Amino acid sequence: MGILLPVVAKNQAERRAVLTTLGPLWDGNEVWLLVAGGATFAAFPEWYATLFSGFYLPLFLILISLIVRGVSFEYRSKYGSEKWRSRWDLAITISSFLPALLWGVAFANIVRGVPLVKTSAGYIQYSGGFWNLLNPYALLGGLTTLSLFVSHGAFFLALKTDGEIRVRANKLGQQVGLVTALLAVLFLGWTMLGLTSKGGVIAGSTVVVVAWLSALAANMKGREGYAFLFSAIATAAVVITLFTGLYPNVMPNRTAGGPGLNIFNASSTHYTLGVMTWVALIMTPIVLLYQGWSYWIFRKRINPNQISTPEAGVLDTVH
Amino acid sequence: MSALDLARWQFGITTVYHFIFVPITIGSGFLVAGLQTAWYRTNKDKYLRATKFFGKLFLINFAIGVVTGIVQEFQFGMNWSSYSRFVGDIFGAPLAIEGLLAFFLESTFLGMWIFGWDRLSKKLHLAAIWLAAIGTLLSAYFILAANAFMQHPVGYVLNGTRGRAELTSIFKVLTNSTALAAFFHTIPSAFLTAGALFAGVGAWMIFHKKDAEVAKPALKIGLITVLISFVIVGVSGDTTARLMTTQQPMKMAAAEAVYNTKTNVPFSLLTIGTLNGSKSVFQIGLPSVLSFMATGNVNGTVEGVNTLEKSYEQKYGPGNYTPNIPFAYWSFRLMIGFGALAALISLLALWFIRQGRFPRKRWFVRSMVVLPFLPILANSFGWIFTESARQPWVVFGLFKTSAGVSPGVSAASVLFTMVVFTLLYGVLAVIEFGLIYRTIKVGPEKTIERDENSKTLTMAY
C-alpha cells in the first residue's frame, strides 16, 4: 500500500484514507517481522549469525527503510504543508518498495544456495559479497515478492476503503495480480529446476497458483474479503513451499558438497527449542486472538470523505 | 579504525540514541494512562485534554523508540555474528519472548488506543493504554534479563565442541539477580525521565500563559514523580552497586578509580590519575563511603584495579582486563550527578510552587526547561558506564568483545552503515525535536468535541 500510495490516491483525503486503514494495524503487523528475527536468533543462532552478517547491505537497506517508514506514518499529517507531506509520501513509497523487493532477493538467494566457507573457528560464514546476491534468479524472486505484496496491499485497500479509491484499488489489484501470477509461475518453475526432490514444491506451488487465481477471481467479482484471504493464503504458501524445498537445509551452499547450514547444525539445544516451543504454543494463540480483535474493531471501510479537514495538519494552528 | 572499533562505535551510537526515547516512552505511557484514568474517574474535561496533549508527545517519542529498536535486534547478527553464535542459545530466547509477550501487546493496544477513541467504550479504551504501558514494562524486563546475562552469566553450561554457551535453565536467566536489580533501577529512572519532561512542559506552559488547567497538574505530578522515582533509583542503585562488587569487582574498582585493595575506602569526589592511568596522584573523597556502598560495611575491603588485574591474568590467561578507568570513573559520576541534580531542582521547584504559587522568573523557567535533559543524560551515562566498564568482556568472564565481531564484515561496510545510521538519526532528532517543540507550543486542544454519531473520523493519519 505504501508503494501504491502515489498511484491509487489522487488527493489529500484519499492519501490519508490509505494511511488510516493501516494506522491501527501496521505496527502490530511489523512485530511479526521482529519476532521472526528473534525466533531465528533463539532457535537457529548459526543461521541468524550467518544470514545477517552475510546479507549485510540488503538487511541494512531494509532496516533503514523500516525506520523511515515507521516515522513517516506517524509524522506525515502533523503539518498541512504540501512540501512536508509530499516528502513523507515519497519516503513511504521508497521505504515500502525496498523491503518488498529485498525480502524476495534474500529468500531467493537462500533457496538458490550461497557461497559459504568454514572458518578456522569452525563457523560457517557467507563469502559471496554484495553483488553476488543480485543474480537473475534472486532478482526474479525480488520482483515476485514486490508484485505479490503490491497486489496483496491493493486487495486489502479495496477491502478497507469506499468510494473511487476502492474501485481504483480493485482495478490495480487485478492488473498487478496478473503480473504476479506470471512472475510466480516463472519463479516457482525456475526453483523446481534446481531441486532434486520436487514433490513438496510441486504440491506447494499448486496451492500457491490455485489460491492466487481464486484471489483474482474473487477480486474481479468485487468480493474483496475473499480476495484478501486467498492472497494471504498464497503468500503463506510461497514461504512454506520455499522452506519445504529447502528442508532440511536452511542455508545451503551454492557449491554442492560444500559446508552449509541445516536444521541440525544451525539450531539451538533441545532445551532451548523446548522452552521456545512452549512459549510459542501458549502465546501465539493469545496474540492472534487480540490482534484479530483489533482487526475486527477497525473492520469498517474508510471513505475519504470521512476525513473532515484533510488539508489541515494537527500542529498547524496554535490553540 | 578496525571493524571491531567501528562495530563498537556503531553499537554505542545506535544504543545510546535508542535509549534517549525508551525511558521517556515507558514513563510517559504510564503517566498518560494515569491521566486518562483520572478522566475516566472524574469525567473532568481538563484530564481528557491533558491525556490527549501528553499522548501526542508520548506518540512522537514512541515512533522513534520503536523504529530505532529494530536496529538493535538485527545489529547482533549483522555486526556481532560471532557473539550471536556464542550466546544465541541463551540470548535469543529472551529476545524472542520479548517480541511475543511485550511487542505485540504494546503495538496492538497502542494502535487501538490511537485510533479507538470513537470505536471503543471508554472502559476498553482506557484498558488499551494500560495494556500498552504494561507491554513496555515487560519489554524492558526481558531485554534487561538478556543484558544481565552479559553482566553476570547464569543458567548455562559451556559446550567446548560447539564453541558456545548453552542454556540449562531459562528460570535462572529470567530471575538473574542482576536483571532484577537492573529492572528496579531502570524503570524508576524511566519514570524520573518522564516526570521531568511533564514538569518541564508544565512549567513552560504556565510561564507562557498556556492552558494552566492542564499545565498545573502536569508540573506537580511531574515533580512528585521525579522525587519518588529518585528515592527508588537510589535504593536499587545501592543494591546494584553491591551486586556489581561481588559479580564484577573490576567494574566497581574502575568506577571509583581504586587502584590498590584497601579497607575504609572513601567515595571519591575527585581523582586525578597519572597519564597512563595506572596510579592516582591526588584524591579527595567522602571517608569510608565507598566501602559502605560496595559492601554495606564502612570497614569493608574494596579490591583495587591492580590486584584484580593480577588475579584475572591468573584466572583467564595473559591479557589486559582493565577497562578505561577515567571513562568509567567519569561516566559513573555523571550518571549519579545528573540524576541527583534533576532531583534537587525538582525538590526546590516543588517548594517554589507551594500553595499554587509560580515564580514568573526567567531563571525558574530556564531551569525547568533544562530539567528534562538531565535524566536523559544520566540514563545515557549509566549505560555507557555499565557497558564500557565491563570491557574487555562482552559476556563477563566468558567471552571477549574482540571475539564477538563479525569476521566476514569489512571495516568499510561497518563504517558505511555507521555513517548512514548516524546521519539518519541526526535528521530524525532534528525533526523529532521540532515536532515536540511545536506540539508544546500548539498546546492542548481547548475544547474536545465528542459526537458519538459523527460520521467523520476522530483520528486519521
Write out the DSSP string of B126-161.
HHHHHHHHHHHHHHHHHHHHHHHHHHS--SEEEETT
Query: With contact defined as beta carbons under 8 Å apart, do A68 and A91 qualify?
Result: yes
pLDDT at B279: 59
* Chain B residue numbers touching A98 (CB-CB < 8 A): none
Residues 112-171 of chain B with CB under 8 A from chain A are 112, 114-116, 119-120, 163-164, 166-168, 170
Q: Does the beta-carbon distance from A52 to B167 stay under 8 Å?
A: no
**A8 vs A15: CA distance, rounded Å:** 8
CA angle A306, A307, A310 (to 5 degrees): 150
Chain A contact for B98 (CB, 8 A cutoff):
yes
Query: With contact defined as beta carbons under 8 Å apart, do B290 and B302 qualify?
Result: yes
3-state secondary structure (DSSP) of residue B304: coil
Higher pLDDT, B211 or B283: B211
pLDDT at A7 over 60: yes
pLDDT at B453: 61
**B381 vs B331: CA distance, rounded Å:** 5
pLDDT at A286 over 70: yes
Phi, psi of B301 (to 5 degrees): -90, 130
Question: Which residue, among A157, A294, A300, would best test binding to B if mutated, counting the most B CBs under 10 Å from its CB?
Answer: A294
pLDDT at B450: 62
**B393 vs B248: CA distance, rounded Å:** 11
pLDDT at A311 over 70: yes
pLDDT at A5: 94
**Residue A118, min C-alpha distance to chain B (Å):** 11
Chain B residue closest in CA terms to A72: B63
Which residues does A51 contact at the CB level (< 8 Å), separation at least 6?
A40, A106, A110, A126, A251, B77
**A87 vs A90: CA distance, rounded Å:** 5
Chain A contact for B58 (CB, 8 A cutoff):
no
**A111 vs A254: CA distance, rounded Å:** 9
pLDDT at A309: 86
**A264 vs A149: CA distance, rounded Å:** 32
- Which of A216, A215, A211, A190 lies closest to A201 in space, CA to CA? A190
Chain B contact for A92 (CB, 8 A cutoff):
no
**B3-52 confidence digits (pLDDT tens):** 999 999 999 999 999 999 999 999 999 999 999 999 999 999 999 999 99
Domain assignment present for residue A164? The answer is yes
Question: Which residue, among B81, B113, B437, would best test binding to A if mutated, counting the most A CBs under 10 Å from its CB?
Answer: B81
Query: With contact defined as beta carbons under 8 Å apart, do B167 and B90 qualify?
Result: yes
Shortest CB distance from B408 goes to which of A17, A122, A126? A126
Q: What is the rounded average pLDDT of the residues A81-100?
A: 95
Query: With contact defined as beta carbons under 8 Å apart, do B377 and B338 qualify?
Result: yes
**B88-132 confidence digits (pLDDT tens):** 999 999 999 999 999 999 999 999 999 999 889 999 999 999 999
**B207-234 confidence digits (pLDDT tens):** 999 999 999 999 999 999 999 999 999 9
pLDDT at A177: 96
Q: Among the residues of B268-410, which ranges form H helices? A: 289-295, 305-316, 325-352, 362-370, 373-388, 401-404
* Chain A residue numbers touching B64 (CB-CB < 8 A): 71
* Chain B residue numbers touching A308 (CB-CB < 8 A): 456-457
Specify which residues B272 forms β-bridges with: B282
Rg (CA), chain B: 24
Query: With contact defined as beta carbons under 8 Å apart, do B10 and B417 qualify?
Result: yes
CA angle A293, A295, A299 (to 5 degrees): 115
Chain B contact for A306 (CB, 8 A cutoff):
yes
Domain assignment present for residue A32? The answer is yes
**Residue A134, min C-alpha distance to chain B (Å):** 17
* Chain B residue numbers touching A71 (CB-CB < 8 A): 63-64, 67, 428, 431
pLDDT at B167: 95
**A163-214 confidence digits (pLDDT tens):** 999 999 999 999 999 999 999 999 999 998 877 777 888 899 999 999 999 9
Residues 97-116 of chain A with CB under 8 A from chain B are none
Q: What is the rounded average pLDDT of the residues A255-266?
A: 90
Domain assignment present for residue A152? The answer is yes
Domain assignment present for residue A139? The answer is yes
**Residue B105, min C-alpha distance to chain A (Å):** 8
Q: Does the beta-carbon distance from B407 to A284 stay under 8 Å?
A: no
**B96 vs B73: CA distance, rounded Å:** 10
Chain B contact for A21 (CB, 8 A cutoff):
no
Helices (H) and strands (E) in chain B, counts: 16, 8
Report whether the peptide linkage leading into residue B444 is cis, meaning its omega lies within 30 degrees of zero. Answer: no
Q: Does the beta-carbon distance from B163 to A302 stay under 8 Å?
A: no
pLDDT at A80 over 50: yes
**B54 vs B200: CA distance, rounded Å:** 12
Q: How confident is the model at residue A56 (pLDDT cuts 50, 70, 90)?
A: very high
pLDDT at A297: 94
pLDDT at A89: 95
pLDDT at B275: 47
Residues 190-249 of chain A with CB under 8 A from chain B are none
Record the cell numbers describing residue B380, joined without a space.
Answer: 545515557
Size of interface A-B (CB pairs under 8 A): 253
pLDDT at B160: 87
Q: Does the beta-carbon distance from A49 to B81 stay under 8 Å?
A: yes
**Residue B420, min C-alpha distance to chain A (Å):** 9
**A22 vs B62: CA distance, rounded Å:** 17
Q: Which domain holds residue A162?
A: 5-112+133-192+253-306
Chain A contact for B89 (CB, 8 A cutoff):
yes
Burial grade of A207 (CB within 10 A; 0-12, 13-18, 19 or more): middle
CA angle B197, B201, B202 (to 5 degrees): 115
* Chain A residue numbers touching B101 (CB-CB < 8 A): 279, 283
**Percent of chain B clearing pLDDT 90 (strictly above):** 78
Domain assignment present for residue A120? The answer is no
**A246 vs A226: CA distance, rounded Å:** 30
**Residue B29, min C-alpha distance to chain A (Å):** 17
Half-sphere exposure of A121 (CA within 13 A, CB side): 17
pLDDT at B294: 72
pLDDT at A199: 82
Which residues does A119 contact at the CB level (< 8 Å), separation at least 6?
A125, B407
**Residue B84, min C-alpha distance to chain A (Å):** 6
Shortest CB distance from B441 goes to which of A17, A57, A318? A318
Q: How confident is the model at residue B315 (pLDDT cuts 50, 70, 90)?
A: very high
Q: What is the mean pLDDT of chain B?
A: 91
Domain assignment present for residue A212? The answer is no
Q: How confident is the model at residue B277 (pLDDT cuts 50, 70, 90)?
A: low
Question: Which residue, among A18, A71, A301, would best test binding to B if mutated, counting the most B CBs under 10 Å from its CB?
Answer: A71
Q: Does the beta-carbon distance from B168 to A319 stay under 8 Å?
A: no
- Which of B264, B280, B390 lies closest to B326 in space, CA to CA? B280
- Please give the DSSP secondary-structure letter assigned to residue B282: E
Q: Among the residues of B152-259, which ranges form H helices? A: 170-174, 177-207, 212-247, 249-256
Domain assignment present for residue A172? The answer is yes
Q: What is the mean pLDDT of chain A?
A: 93
A217 CA to centre of own chain: 23
Instruction: Map chain A to HEC letters.
Output: CCCCHHHHCCCHHHHHHHHHHHCCCHHHHHHHHHHHHHHHHHHCHHHHHHHHHHCHHHHHHHHHHHHHHHHHHHHHHHCCCHHHHHHHHHHHHHHHHHHHHHHHHHHHHHHHCECEEECCCCCEEECCCCHHHCCHHHHHHHHHHHHHHHHHHHHHHHHHECCHHHHHHHHHHHHHHHHHHHHHHHHHHHHHHCCCCCHHHHHHHHHHHHHHHHHHHHHHCCCHHHHHHHHHHHHHHHHHHHHHHHCCEEECECCCCCCCEECCCCCCCHHHHHHHHHHHHHHHHHHHHHHHHHHHHCCCCECHHHCCCCCCCCCCCCC
Which residues does A98 contact at the CB level (< 8 Å), separation at least 6?
A61, A62, A64, A65
Shortest CB distance from A125 goes to which of B78, B89, B407? B407
Q: Which of A257-261, B41-45, B166-170, B275-279 has the lowest mean pLDDT?
A: B275-279
Q: Which of A36-40, A131-135, B257-261, B395-399 has the lowest mean pLDDT?
A: B257-261
How many Cβ atoms are within 10 Å of B3's Cβ, its own excluded?
19
Q: What is the rounded average pLDDT of the residues B267-272?
A: 71
**Residue B142, min C-alpha distance to chain A (Å):** 12
pLDDT at B348 over 60: yes
Record the cell numbers describing residue A164, joined without a space.
Answer: 473511487
Shortest CB distance from B77 goes to which of A34, A41, A78? A41
- Which of B54, B335, B33 lies closest to B189 in space, CA to CA? B335
**Residue A11, min C-alpha distance to chain B (Å):** 14
How many Cβ atoms are within 10 Å of B1's Cβ, its own excluded?
12
Shortest CB distance from A28 goes to which of B87, B111, B428? B111
Q: How confident is the model at residue B302 (pLDDT cuts 50, 70, 90)?
A: confident
Total count of domains within chain A: 1
Domain assignment present for residue A118? The answer is no
Shortest CB distance from A31 goes to which of B107, B406, B441? B107
